[in-house]
Amino acid sequence: MRENCLKYGINSMVGIPVVLCLSVVCCGTSSLPADILADDWRWMYAYGVLSSAAFALLVFLFPARIKECLPAVVSWVFILYGGMEAVWGIRQVYGFTYSNHSLYALTGSFYNPGPYSGYLAMIFPVCLHEWLKRKEYKKTIPYYMAVAGMLLILCVLPAGMSRSAWIAAAVSSVYVCGMHYKREIQHYIKHHRKQAVSFAVVTCILSGIALGGIYQMKKDSADGRLFMWKIAAHAVSEHPWAGCGWNSVPAAYGQAQEDYFATGDYTVTEELVAGAPEYVFNEYLQVAIAWGVPVLCFGLLIMGGSMYIGHKQGIYGLCGALLSLMVFAFSSYPLQFSAFVSALVILVLACGIRVLPLEKGWFRLLFTILLLVGSYGCFYNYQQKSKVVSACKQWTKSRMFYQSGAYRQAVECYAEIQKEMVGNARFMFEYGHALHKLHEPELSNRVLKEALKVSGDPMILNVIGKNEQEMKHYASAEQWFMRAVHRLPGRIYPYYLLANLYAEPDFYRRDKLERVVRTVLEKEPKVQSTAIKQMRQKAQELLKKVPEN
């Protein structure tokens, strides 16, 4: 009796740092818009300080028990948060609580349905494994908790309309079911070989049809992601070893896309689906661009090794969750959210901890020191993120000046927080654009060129070109406008700016003017708008105003 009390007491203590580490999924602050994630990262580092220190203490005092109970504790904490997220989504669908995005009814605690669905897809195989383990035995509370979590997720996951999450949930569920029914499957294959082959062929055909249907459901979106991966691969080749830094990935991608379109060897479909994304919708490529191929290989080695260890130890639920996350990361951007990063750290630790020789004093001491170092690292990052969060709060308040056209007041406020916000592309663009509106082209260009280090948005190139034109640096302005054309050739606006440039009396180019005006008039935009009509009307007027010779 006393031993059981000690056992459950240690399990409860282990649950505290796990709950803290994963609770970042439902943390945030109402003082920041949902699409600004700085506060989520601050919470992650804050909880990381406490969780790492608590793990260090528990590992030092109860190494054997930690190795034994951590996977089960992590599984049930995941199920708890998965159920909470699913109920949150159901309440949003029925209008009982607000969504975090004006265009979507279902977002959970996330900003849009994509990562929300991916998070649920990661937890689904954990619920499935716990249910399969207990369905043949007496129905207890854990059995009903696993069933409830699984059914709640199934109610919400289809409504998220995330194909990446569906595929991740399906692949991880097949893995969990395959491991649970491994003996039965091996026995059937051994005694019914022809039927097994026929079943495999039919399954492959049906899977291909399903994937084709998923592709056709959002064909343009799928083509866009394929194009992004193609450009991202080019960006990787530019910095294969050291990378360019996490914040600079959009800039590296934008430059690679600009170089690709500048060659002129591209298709109409590629021009149509091209954009200026903040992420490349493939975290493997994202990591390779940011930190280089060696870091990517090291990360894959850690995740693959942890999953292999967990598989050998029979921790199929958490291995399924890790597999789901890895599949989802192939066509989405989970590492942009602190909730997924926390989950990844916990999954790797829970899957791999059982093979660590924590019983040996020297290794236990070394592991404890590593956890304490990690706790200090989280504390340092927490301090840095706290400064960023304070700056973001000031930015959200002062944006009303920018949005209302009070650019002088906006610039004064933005100048105070520029140091903390230098990695925020939207802030840097607003700051540079406000300076442009105040006719301070040199200072505006200085800010916008900093923004180009963290953004691939062609509008930055357009505004720099307009600043150069205002300073009468016409040849330089032409170069910046042409860069904007090459970065996104489907946009009409840079052609319109070129038309205005070629109509300048000091830089008049009749042949070029006629060519770009023709492009403005004939190019088919993605979406028709009043701005397009106005640009076309003004472009026609330019030809009438300038002399023939």
CA angle 203, 208, 211 (to 5 degrees): 120
Of 329, 322, 282, 324, give the one whose Cα is nearest residue 303.
322
Cα-only R_g, the chain: 27
Q: What pLDDT does residue 3 have?
A: 57
Which region, left, alpha or beta, applies to residue 95 given φ > 0 means left and ψ of -120 to 50 means alpha?
Answer: left
Per-residue CA distances from 277 to 18, 224, 253, 312, 348 (Å): 34, 10, 8, 40, 29
Q: CA 381 to CA 269: how far, in whole Å?
A: 43
pTM value is 0.91
Burial status of residue 213 (CB atoms within 10 A of its CB: 0-12, 13-18, 19 or more): exposed
Q: What pLDDT does residue 5 have?
A: 63
How many other C-beta atoms can be found within 10 angstroms of the C-beta atom of residue 222?
16
Task: Answer yes or no: are the C-beta atoms of 20 and 50 closer than 8 Å.
Answer: yes
Task: Answer yes or no: are the C-beta atoms of 178 and 131 closer than 8 Å.
Answer: no
Q: What pLDDT does residue 2 have?
A: 57
Q: What pLDDT does residue 548 have?
A: 53
pLDDT tens for 338-383 read 999 999 999 999 998 888 888 888 888 898 899 999 999 999 999 9
**How many residues appear in the chain?**
549
- The encoded tokens of residue 161 equal 């309309």
- Alpha-helical runs (H) found in 239-359: 249-262, 268-273, 283-291, 293-312, 316-328, 338-352
Per-residue CA distances from 418 to 35, 79, 464 (Å): 19, 42, 19
Q: What pLDDT does residue 95 have?
A: 85
Residues of the chain with pLDDT under 70: 1-8, 28-31, 545-549
Burial 151-172, CB ≥16 within 10 A → b, else e: ebbeebbeebebbbbbbbbbbb
Task: Answer yes or no: are the C-beta atoms of 341 and 335 closer than 8 Å.
Answer: yes
Domain spanning 406-545: which superfamily?
Tetratricopeptide repeat domain (1.25.40.10)
